[in-house]
Amino acid sequence: MLSRKMESALNGQINNEMYSAYLYMAMSSHANDRGLKGFAAWFMVQYHEEMFHAMKLYEYVQRQGNSVKLEAIKQPPNTWKSPMEMFQQTLKHEQFITSCFNELTELAIKEKDHATQIFLQWYVTEQVEEEENDNEIIGMLKVAGDNTHALMMIDRDIGSRGTTVPTDYSRGIEAALKAAQ
Ligand code: FEO
């Protein structure tokens, strides 16, 4: 059983992850409108990753015998000046999410909630990868500069990213992970 404070904080993080999914879906749509199909695919994969992050939290709260309470998801922006601006915003957002998990971990330590502390470690590690991915693409975009040919090569390259997370959670996370293998 989670404390009320921990339950509320984890519910808040479900909302943050749902917003992340919404933000990347908006970026995918914008990239598609601009003819950048590879970027659109990359952001749609990221959308699935975020839904997985939200569902892991959702299931954890329920398994602890607590309640999931969904709140309104704020509206994401709908246009960006360039792929560079999209990835700079993505990195900034992921840095914010990293700080959220650091705070959640601090709360779990303060509450002597060892189970939640262990559960959150997965996210702390995941955030290193998330920021690394964004920094890598920002680096590629810096090298490309204003070169349209180079931008199209990046589009083709990042568009090959596949979804590695499950997308059907109707029987729970474990079953979804097994089915996705
Ligand atoms: Fe769920 Fe991109 O952090």
| Ligand 1 nearest-atom number relative to CA 93 | 2
Q: What is the pLDDT of residues 111-135, one digit of tens each?
A: 999 999 999 999 999 999 999 999 9
Q: Is residue 180 part of a domain?
A: no
Q: Is residue 179 part of a domain?
A: no
Domain CATH code at residue 47:
1.20.1260.10
pLDDT of residue 98: 98
Give the C-alpha separation, 66 to 60, whole Å: 9
CA of 94 relative to ligand 1 center, distance in Å: 6
- The count of domains in the chain is 1
Q: Is residue 175 part of a domain?
A: no
DSSP 74: P
- Residue of minimum CA distance from atom 1 in ligand 1: 50
What domain range includes position 121? 4-164
Q: Is residue 174 part of a domain?
A: no
Give the C-alpha separation, 55 to 83, whole Å: 28
Q: What is the pLDDT of residues 29-64, one digit of tens each?
A: 999 999 999 999 999 999 999 999 999 999 999 999
Residues with CB under 6 Å of ligand 1 are 17, 20, 50, 53, 94, 97, 130
Q: Is residue 169 part of a domain?
A: no
Q: Is residue 176 part of a domain?
A: no
Q: What is the pLDDT of residues 79-91, one digit of tens each?
A: 999 999 999 999 9
pLDDT of residue 110: 98
pLDDT of 18 over the 80 cut? yes
DSSP 118: H
